[in-house]
Structures are given as structure tokens and as C-alpha cells.
Structure 1
Amino acid sequence: MKSITRVLLVLCLLGASTLCAEESYLPRASPESQGVSSEAIREYILAADREVNSMHSFMLVRHGKVVAEAWWAPESADKPHILWSLSKSFTSTAVGLAIAEGKLSIDDPVLKFFPEDAPEKASANLRSMRVRDLLTMNAGHQDELNWREQTDWAKAFLAHPVPHKPGTHFRYNTPATYMLSAIVQKVTGQTVLDYLTPRLFEPLGIEKPVWENSPQGISIGGYGLYLRTEDIAKFGQLYLQKGNWNGKQLIPESWISMATSKQVSNGSNPDSDWDQGYGFQFWRCRHGAFRGDGKDGQFCIVLPEQDAVVAITAHTGNMQAELNVVWDKLLPAFHDKALPEAPTSKEALDATITELKSSR
């Protein structure tokens, strides 16, 4: 084993980039070999193409192997895509890692990290706001800060009214995620992008991630990250595997469990995937799933019961409809055991995917 490792290392150093690059990709397999129907996947793609305006990419991972992948022209496998608020789940991961390294506590007061930015007379609610409240979107705000009009985002966040006791009022709040990013930078001396690079991005083979910064040089946190579709799928697979990757525990399993569990209630509509509870910058879904998601239909959906991950990029105004197609078409496609190979159905699936690449 050691000699094989040395050979691979030498080949990488000598410039055998193709061989080394292949190691960073998830393994591929036929849908049927992993207990998924090719015909059902094709029906999903056709329905998504018809009902979601507009799809950009889709990747399905089952039992750790990619069984289907599709890009709608002009998108492509090697083209990074804006994640919008799906970035939040990566910021949460950075917080979890910093906590595991003893750099902060989930129950630390937010003001602890920004003594120079605190208002002269901080309210009781602001003083009681904790890192946990930022993670769960329960910071206590009634309205979200319009930070684009501010020169210093952290200072503006702390000056914004906090009418609710933190921990009691769910208010989706992108500036709260920015504050998490700022806290990570305070305690590590690195942007979230730089901090995650050796701890997450490099081990997963995620190359050259880009994350936009605030005017203060802080990774925006709540959005601004650009990744490829397969990078999104890898991130979901890591969480599905409870933080373990190639035999190494990249993220503590305890953090995975807390981050993806229902920490707070955010509604009661059983038909809405936005009313199933919220974790630490992860949404709970119907069907026992959880997800990171972003504006216009960016999704990293993890289905533990099916041992599957669905990565989607899109530009749609109806994200619930986008999820409905997943539940309606893909859930019935999963089977507990491998299926007989279906070459005719697989050829039809491949033809449909090929057509997407050239139809726009």
C-alpha cells in the first residue's frame, strides 16, 4: 500500500494531472447497480425541465456513488455556480470546526467578540444574544438589517434593534450568518474561506473555491460562495457520512447531528419544506431529509433514509415546486437492493441528458 501511495505521489509531482484529478471525483456507477431506476431518473429530469424555470444542473449520489448527472446548456460540470444562501451551511461547518478546536463556545455571547463595535448602551436582548442564536436564526430581530447601505457591517448589525428575546423568534437573517463568519475570523485569524480550505475543501478535492468578501475583508458567510455541482454533492455526502471522509473524521459527528437536527420551530404547514424546523444553518425537510439551500433554487439535499444526496443548481422563483419534483419523481426511484441492469432505459436516460447540453 505504501509503495502504491509513493507511485501516485511521484506521478502527481511529475505532472500526471489526469490520474490525480480522477482521485478527487466521486466514484460513478450505473443507477440500477445502486438500486435506482434509470427510467425514474429520466422521468425526474423531464419533469424538472418542464416544471422548473429554469434548471441548471442535477447530480444524484446513492451509496456514495454518482448514478446520474446532468447540466442544462450553457452550464457544465467544470463551471462554478453561485450558491447564494447554500453558503450558510459551509459557514456553519466552519463554526463547528472552530468550536471543536476550542476557539469558541456555542453559548458565547456575540458581544464578546466585538467589544469595539458594541453600541454605547447595548440592550438586554443584545447582551443575551449567543452564537447559538445566530446559528438558528433566532437572534431576536424583527426585520433584517439592510447592510448594503452600511459602511461597517458588524457594527451596523449590533446597532440594529433586537425587540425579541434571542432564542424565541425565528427570523431568517443573512446578516446573522455574516456575524458567524466574522466571529470565525476573529478567533482563527483567517477568513472562513482560508480556514475551511485545509480542513474541508482540500480533503474533499474541492478546487479553487471562491467566496466574496465584505468591505472589511470578511467572507460574507451568508452567500457569496461559488462551487461546482459535484462539490455540492461531496459536501452533502460528507454530512451523510456524519463527517467521515476516506476514513478521516473531518467534522465531529456530534456537530453533524446538532447542525442537521431540528433546533427551532419555524412553521406548521406539513406541505411546506420551509416549515419543518431549522438547525444550525440547515433546513429540515419532509421525508426525513435535511438540506442547505440558496436563492433561485440551489440545493444540497441529504436523504439519510435512502442513503442518497441530491445536488441541484437552478434559477427559479418557485423553490418549493423544485423540491416537489424531487419528492414526486426521485423518492419512488430508490430500492433497497440492486436492480437488474436496464440498458434500454439507461440509453434513454443518457440521450435525454445529452439533449439538455445542446438544447439551449
Structure 2
Amino acid sequence: MLYSTGSSHILSAALTQASGESTLALARRLLGEPLGITLPAWPRDPQGIYFGGNDMALSPHALIALGELYRHDGKIGDTRVLPEGWVEASWQPRGTSRWTGDRYGYGWFITTLEDTPVYYGRGFGGQGLYVIPARALTVVFTADPHPDTAGQRFSQEQLHRIVSLLLQTETQNGT
């Protein structure tokens, strides 16, 4: 497994070329509109291709909407937004991260916390989106990606501990 936003950027360029639309336009049409969320423009490379794996600056509300879309197998109510089978395919382990030891699918890290399967994505500086279908739970973390000191950033271990505590509390409360 070689995690690389460069790979996601190549995908962004391929989608742009194949569709004739920018990745931003595609994301707004295919995700933003059905989810009712705002997708602000994010940086582009010198050729004008929108970055494929970073700096999207999504709001917590937008991240929750995206997580809930995945938690509900790509559907909003009765409306299918993602192709059938995509969520399951993206949550299948394709490799293991040498940094975390967690498995990795199509854009999602896969782990187990408190005996519960957890799917998550991380962003720079402590951003996180955790989807936990078995507990009907989606959790979002946001943080200042440019704090004064690196020690003020949330690490993946810290985010995992917080989610574990949520899962423990939920179990103790019987919910």
C-alpha cells in the first residue's frame, strides 16, 4: 500500500479528461446538489486540474453529509447517489498502511475500534471523518491545520482514542 495524494490527483485529471468537466463541477453536480451541501473551490495545479486529494476545505456539515451517504450505502432516502456496490467495494481492504497498520480501501482507512468495524478518512492537521455503520454513527473532527506548534495538531492515535471513548460510552449507555 502506498498512500499518495498524487494518485488521487491523477484520478482527478483522468475524470476531468474523460468527462469534459472539472472535478469541482463534477463534485458539485454529483455530490453537492444531491446532498444539499456547498463544495467550495479548492486549489488547482498549474495545468488547471483541481487537486485530487487535499485542501478541499469542506465544512463539518458537508463532511457529515458525505459520511452519512456512505453509512447509508450511497443512498439518500430512496435516491441512489453512488453506484450500487461502490461503498462496499471502497471499504474492502486493498492494502495495509505502513504508518498506521490499518488497512486501506478506495480512499478509506479501515480499522476496528472497540470490536467495531470503523471506516475513516484523515486530513492534514487532525481533520477526520469516521463512519461506523454498526453503531449508526458518523463522527467528524476539524482542527486548525496550521497551529503555532505541531504538538497542537490531533494525531491519528488521538482521534482513534476519542472515537473509542465514544463507542465505549455508547455501549455503557446501552445505545
* TM-score of the pair, normalised by structure 2: 0.85
Higher-helix-fraction structure: 1
What RMSD over aligned residues (CA atoms) do the two structures have, in Å? 2.0
Q: Deviations over 1:84-122 (max 9, x none)?
A: xxxxxxxxxxxxxxxxxxxxxxxxxxxxxxxxxxxxxxx
Match of 2:161 in 1: 324
Distance of aligned partners of 1:174 and 1:257 in 2 relative to their CA distance in 1, 3 Å threshold: same
Describe the SS at the equivalent of 1:309: strand
Gaps of at least 5 residues in structure 1 are 1-169, 340-360
Q: Which residue of 1 aligns with 2:69?
A: 238
- Hey, what's the Cα distance between the residues in 2 that align with 1:265 and 1:338? 33
- Residue matched to 1:342: none
Runs of 4+ in structure 1 displaced over 6 angstroms?
336-339
Q: Give how far 1:233 is off.
A: 0.6
Matched residue type, 1:314:
A
Is the Cα contact below 8 Å between 1:296 and 1:319 reproduced in 2?
A: no
Match of 2:29 in 1: 198
Higher relative contact order (CA 8 A, sep 6+): 1
**Alignment correspondent of 1:250:** 81
- 1:318 to 1:338, Cα distance in 2 relative to 1, 3 A: closer
Letter in 1 for 2:108: F
Cα shift at 1:263: 1.4
2:129 equivalent in structure 1: 300
CA distance in 2 between counterparts of 1:209 and 1:338 reads: 39
What fraction of aligned residue pairs are identical, expressed as a percent?
26
1:202–1:337 CA distance, 2 compared to 1 (3 A): farther
Are the counterparts in 2 of residues 210 and 227 from structure 1 also a CA contact under 8 Å?
Answer: no
Over residues 40-70 of structure 1, what are the superposed CA-to-partner deviations in whole Å (9 max), with x where a residue is unaligned? xxxxxxxxxxxxxxxxxxxxxxxxxxxxxxx
- In the alignment, the residues of structure 2 paired with residue 224 and residue 266 of structure 1 have an alpha-carbon distance, to the nearest angstrom, of 22
Residue 172 of structure 1 corresponds to 3
Q: Aligned AA for 2:36?
A: G
- Structure 2 counterpart of 1:280, from 100, 103, 106: 106
Structure 2 match to 1:151: none
In the alignment of these two chains, the number of paired residues is: 164
Contact 2:27–2:39 under 8 Å retained in 1: no
Q: Quick one: distance in 1 between partners of 2:86 and 2:154?
A: 32
Question: More displaced, 250-259 or 316-325?
Answer: 316-325
Q: Is the 8 A contact 2:97 2:104 kept in 1?
A: yes
2:52 alignment partner, SS class? coil
1:313 to 139, 142, 159: 142
Q: Whole-Å Cα distance in 1 between the matches of residues 129 and 154 of structure 2?
A: 17
Q: Does the CA contact (< 8 Å) of 2:28 and 2:39 recur in 1?
A: no
1:132-211 equivalence runs, <5 A: 170-211=1-42
User: Larger radius of gyration, structure 1 or 2?
Assistant: 1
Q: Scaled by the length of structure 1, what TM-score is found? A: 0.43
Question: How many Å apart are 1:292 and its aligned residue?
Answer: 1.3
For each residue in 1:200-220, what CA deviation from the matched residue of structure 2 results, as whole angstroms up to 9, or x when unmatched?
Answer: 111111124222111111111
**Secondary structure of the structure 2 residue equivalent to 1:286:** strand
Task: Write the letter of the residue equivalent to 2:42.
Answer: W
